[in-house]
Amino acid sequence: MRNIWTICRRELYAYFVSPIAWVLLTIFAFLSGVFTYIISASFVRYSLEGQMSGQSMPMNVNEQVIAPLFSNIAVVGLFLIPLISMRLFAEEKRQGTIELLVTSPVHDLEIILGKWLASVLMYCALLAVLAADYSFLFLYGNPDWKPVATGFLGIVLQGACLLAFGAFISTLTRNQIVAGAIGFALALVLWILNWTTSFGNSVAVQVLNYLSIVSHMDSFSKGVIDTKDLVYYVSMIFLGLFLTARSLESMRWRA
């Protein structure tokens, strides 16, 4: 555990001494602020229009503000997560330190977990900006806190899943741009798998829909923690880290 935390701190330090963390935080803060303002302003406008017209329009902050915000932020993560994971092992290869890393007395699993945990914490740092935006909703509104808490849990699990596969892709190349591009392509494929539901309801379509990372986020944004969604995310994280371990093991033997 000590080695995992040491590697994790080293990776976090590498994020914040380079422009990567600050650029990502700036982009995320800007987009998160824009989405929060637009969706909240629309909610207030519709509410005022309903009051002025004398029509009782059911308005729910959780359903009409918080859930759409989580959906939009998940899309933003689709672009930013590959930028977080692309350097995990590709940078080690580029600098020529990967051989020292894989031949060190540290276990492969400790290396993988340390780097992956650092990337997850970096992603959580981005989500902290979103939490600051949500604080204004609690300050001026009265949303239910449970969908917010479960929504954050779901979006963290979704990001951790993509980061696990991003770590695996980063072991396959020394070029960060290539790792980022492939990571984005894989994330996009996992994202659009649920589009197959428009082609029917066959067994193959149901399987593809289950493999989509989007279809498992809906329950979390509604304040529901479904066991099948937890099993999916945990299984996908395990698969991504398992593939990373096999790839790193092959590099150890080559070294």
Q: Which among 85, 78, 74 has a CA at the least distance from the CA of 178? A: 85
What is the reported pLDDT for 237?
A: 93
What is the reported pLDDT for 9?
A: 87
- Report phi then psi at 14, rounded to 5: -65, -35
Q: How many CB atoms lie within 10 A of CB 6?
A: 13
What is the reported pLDDT for 208?
A: 77
At residue 80, the 3 state secondary structure works out as helix
Number of structural domains (the chain) is 1
- What is the per-residue burial (b if ≥16 Cβ within 10 Å, else e) of 189-223? ebbebbebeeeeeeeebeebbebbbbbbbbbbbbb
- What is the per-residue burial (b if ≥16 Cβ within 10 Å, else e) of 18-43? eebbeebbeebbebbeebbeebbeeb
Q: Rounded CA gap, 188 and 75, in Å?
A: 10
Q: pLDDT means per 10 residues in the chain (255 residues)?
A: 84 86 90 85 71 62 76 86 89 77 78 91 90 78 78 90 92 88 89 72 75 80 82 92 87 62
Locate 203 and state its tokens: 């067994």
What is the reported pLDDT for 204?
A: 73
How many helices and strands in the chain, by DSSP H and E? Answer: 12, 0
H or E segment to which residue 106 belongs: none
- Report phi then psi at 202, rounded to 5: -75, 170
Q: Rounded CA gap, 18 and 23, in Å?
A: 9
What is the reported pLDDT for 239?
A: 92
Q: Which amino acid, residue 226?
A: D
This prediction's pTM: 0.88
Angle between helices 145-170 and 227-254 (to 10 degrees): 20
Q: Count Cα atoms within 13 angstroms, Cβ side, for 174.
A: 9
Locate 253 and state its tokens: 């033997």
Locate 185 and state its tokens: 């392509």
Provide the domain limits for residue 202. 2-254
